[in-house]
Amino acid sequence: MKVHNLFYLLIFSYNFLSCVTTKNAIKDFNNAEYFNAANKFEKTLKSGDAKNNFLLAESLRKSNRLWQAEKFYRNAIKNGIDNEMAYYYLVLSLKANNNYEQADSLINNYLKRGEDESVISLLRKEAIYINNLKNYPDTSYYRVKNLKAINTKFAEYSPSFSNEKLYFVSNRQSEKIYSGTGTPFTDLYEIKSRGANVDINSLKKLEDNINQEKVNEGSITFSEDGTYMIFAKGNDGKSSGRNNVDLYWSRFRRGGWTNPRLLNVNTSRSWDSTPFLSKDGKTLYFASNRSKGYGGTDIYKANVNRRGRWINIQNMGPEINTSGNELFPSVTEDGRLYFSSDSHEGFGGLDIFVASRRGGKITIVNPGKPLNSRGDDFGVNPYNPTRGFFTSNREGGAGDDDIYTFVNDDPNLKIVNYTLKGITLTPKSDTKELNILGNSTVKLLDRDGQVIEETFTDSDGNFKFIVYSDEEYILIGEKENYFSTRGEFSTIGKELDKSKLKEFITNVEYEKNLILDRIIVNKSIVLDNIYYDLDKSDIREDAAIELDKLIVILRDNPNISIELSSHTDDRASVDYNQNLSQRRAESAVSYILSKGIDDNRITARGYGESQLIILNAETEDEHQINRRTEFKVTSYEFIDTSNSEDEEDKFFNNN
């Protein structure tokens, strides 16, 4: 009897410990400690347990071990898991293990009986990808090489080249373990480098105020002169109210980096990381899982204003971003975007993609092998048009993630940099002479009115944008106390034939200046060609064209209110002319209001013949000058929505 009791006690103890371990595994999973969760699930997992097989598979996937998750997704499905996303993730794990035929068969079987429309959509896309992958060659014009001098059995990733130094992330020297992945915490390192030739004796960690114990420091990017950096840090395991990964900035001053400060692009409920600064330092690209994206992590961009604040934060759109994860953006001088994704047409895990723009359309290309592999390939950092660094955990490396170099040997590769430059100007008093108008805002919009880029002119009024071939643009200039002004520009028909170019790099510059008029309250401005039929107040088609221009002014200048006035000549009675002018002014205003302008911003006023420009007019031309439609600004309020940050102000005002 005692033996039996001991046996039952052991069974009870085992079941109790198993239950506790499973609960702890679920707790770790919910806390995003996926490595710990996977270990605990494996210790207690039963083959027929669909839910925990799925959670184990998810723990492996979320801790960057997708290829190990295949068995457990299979078990979850076999035992009736009710989450049909398991089929999609099983397909991804099969791809990660190069089992394309099995992945294709699984997709076909699911599409015959699957019910989840979102999974059906994802798998139909994967079926196309798998079929296309079969046609990809094993070689391309890219040559890659493991940068063995710096790689170890630990992780080295996210290379960034700046001022003859290579910066990267590694967990080689940390003794503390990050429970999310089961690997040591990461730090930032630098090493002197001439291209891909590194001086191993110069390898060192960045300062302690940048690298902190039990905190993961991540991807880093620099201004062109190397004195300003943005990097990611987080995953400290603390409940700080943030989503545990944010972007920080620091400036190199007096021989060291200043204490990092939060960048204003972060949001408290999102993961914000993998930053990249454009060469001119005016555009920041980064990845984020903030709300209202397309799913997973998306790539965003932001522009910096004169005060160092990042503004105009934009999702880069559904052509680039998917329901999966897009991250690690970097941009070449000619505007090509490198990024990594697990949901575009790839070989498994993260693949590197190149996005280019032409005619307002974005084309996404997978550069193929050997730049990509069945592993995770990411973190491209080009240091010239044909060479750069990237990261991969492919087979044959030194250990975890490794840094590689690449060379693009495409003999037909030609780089054409199209740029649009100009000056913001303003009329001098009432003359036709123009003065430079510095420190203005200039926006570049596409033909649909979407902001592509925003910049700020220097004291000489200069601005410059990257533009693309076969595309129509709108420029908008803005400045306090001046009317926002539009200008149109097109590159259609101006594209160079690359096959005829002899130089490897060709720079093409276009010019387009913007003239901004000062806002003077109660100063009348005549609208051209607002004609009415005799004794009529109806808006004619030719008058509508001119009123549409005023509507654009009102839309571009939401902080002004106006009076629209109508005037007549003196060839009828005073009362008649007064009544006619009022009807015409009201008709014009009604037309403007019909286009969505707020009625609180515009007033109709008829002046009849009370404000003749030419007294005692005799000719029809003179009478026409008196018969005019005008507007004048009755109120104006400048709204400054940007806030200052001292350190960023100093940096950007001096550069």
Phi, psi of 133 (to 5 degrees): -60, -30
Torsion of CA 75, 78, 80, 86, to 10 degrees: 60
Query: Residue 131: which pLDDT band, with cuts at 50, 70 and 90?
Result: confident
Query: Residue 129: which pLDDT band, with cuts at 50, 70 and 90?
Result: confident
Question: Do residues 458 and 438 lie in contact, with contact meaning Cβ atoms separated by under 8 Å?
Answer: yes
CATH number of the domain where residue 583 is located:
3.30.1330.60
Between 8 and 391, residue with greater pLDDT = 391
Beta bridge partners of 402: 392
Residue 277, token pair as written in the block: 């600064």
Q: How far apart are CA 362 and CA 354, in angstroms?
A: 10
Residue 471, token pair as written in the block: 């595309």
Q: Write a three-state SS string for 188-256.
A: EEEEEEECCEECHHHCEECCCCCCCCCCEEEEEEECCCCCEEEEEEECCCCCCCCCCEEEEEEEEECCE
Burial of 458 (0-12, 13-18, 19+ CB in 10 A): middle
Question: Do residues 622 and 520 lie in contact, with contact meaning Cβ atoms separated by under 8 Å?
Answer: no
- Report the first-to-last Cα separation within the chain, whole angstroms: 86
Q: How far apart are CA 64 and CA 32, in angstroms?
A: 13
Torsion of CA 396, 401, 402, 407, to 10 degrees: 90
Whether residue 572 is contained in a domain is answered as yes
The verdict on 268 and 334 lying in the same domain is: yes
Between 286 and 412, residue with greater pLDDT = 286
Whether residue 591 is contained in a domain is answered as yes
Whether residue 641 is contained in a domain is answered as no
The verdict on 91 and 201 lying in the same domain is: no
pLDDT of 652 strictly over 50: no
Query: Residue 539: which pLDDT band, with cuts at 50, 70 and 90?
Result: confident
CATH number of the domain where residue 374 is located:
2.120.10.30
Whether residue 642 is contained in a domain is answered as no
pLDDT of 368 strictly over 50: yes
The verdict on 115 and 192 lying in the same domain is: no
* Residue appearing with tokens 């009329």: 427
The verdict on 558 and 421 lying in the same domain is: no
Structurally, the chain folds into a number of domains equal to 4
When mean pLDDT is compared across 174-183, 211-220, 581-590, the lowest value belongs to 174-183
CA dist list (Å): 265 to 303, 311, 478: 10, 8, 23
The verdict on 91 and 163 lying in the same domain is: no
Question: Do residues 96 and 88 lie in contact, with contact meaning Cβ atoms separated by under 8 Å?
Answer: no
Average of pLDDT values for 480-490?
94
When mean pLDDT is compared across 273-287, 457-471, 526-540, the lowest value belongs to 526-540
Among candidate residues 360, 393, 408, the one where a domain is terminated:
408
Supply the DSSP symbol for 396: T
Whether residue 616 is contained in a domain is answered as yes
What pLDDT is stored for residue 18 in this prediction? 54
The verdict on 462 and 600 lying in the same domain is: no
Among candidate residues 109, 133, 157, the one where a domain is terminated:
133
The verdict on 482 and 537 lying in the same domain is: no
What pLDDT is stored for residue 644 in this prediction? 41
The verdict on 254 and 336 lying in the same domain is: yes
Average pLDDT of the chain to the nearest whole number: 88
Indicate the pairing of strand 602-608 with strand 560-567: parallel
Whether residue 5 is contained in a domain is answered as no
Q: How far apart are CA 393 and CA 401, in angstroms?
A: 4
Residue positions counted in the chain: 655
Residue type, 91: V
pLDDT of 532 strictly over 80: no
What pLDDT is stored for residue 639 in this prediction? 63
- The pLDDT tens digits of the residues spanning 28-64 come to 888 878 888 888 888 888 778 899 999 999 999 888 7
- The pLDDT tens digits of the residues spanning 628-646 come to 889 999 999 876 544 444 4
Average of pLDDT values for 332-338?
91
Say which residues have a Cβ less than 8 Å from residue 410's Cβ, sequence separation at least 6.
141
The verdict on 422 and 375 lying in the same domain is: no
Whether residue 389 is contained in a domain is answered as yes
Say which residues have a Cβ less than 8 Å from residue 565's Cβ, sequence separation at least 6.
524, 581, 585, 604, 605, 606, 607, 629, 630, 631, 632
- pTM equals 0.81
CATH number of the domain where residue 458 is located:
2.60.40.10
Residue 418: closest CA among 380, 486, 465: 465
- The pLDDT tens digits of the residues spanning 376-406 come to 999 999 998 899 999 999 888 988 899 999 9
- The pLDDT tens digits of the residues spanning 83-109 come to 999 999 999 999 888 888 899 999 999
Whether residue 51 is contained in a domain is answered as yes
What pLDDT is stored for residue 640 in this prediction? 57
Q: How far apart are CA 185 and CA 109, in angstroms?
A: 42
The verdict on 233 and 292 lying in the same domain is: yes
CA dist list (Å): 250 to 142, 261, 623: 35, 7, 66
Among candidate residues 408, 432, 460, the one where a domain is terminated:
408
The verdict on 545 and 506 lying in the same domain is: no
Indicate the pairing of strand 187-194 with strand 204-205: antiparallel
CATH number of the domain where residue 35 is located:
1.25.40.10
What pLDDT is stored for residue 47 in this prediction? 75
The verdict on 490 and 360 lying in the same domain is: no
Q: How far apart are CA 264 and CA 645, in angstroms?
A: 9
Residue 562: closest CA among 585, 540, 537, 544: 585
Query: Structural domain of residue 445, as residue ranges?
Result: 415-518
Share of the chain above pLDDT 90, in %: 62
pLDDT of 137 strictly over 90: no
* Residue appearing with tokens 């096959």: 499
Q: How far apart are CA 409 and CA 142, in angstroms?
A: 6
Residue 7, helix vs strand vs coil: helix
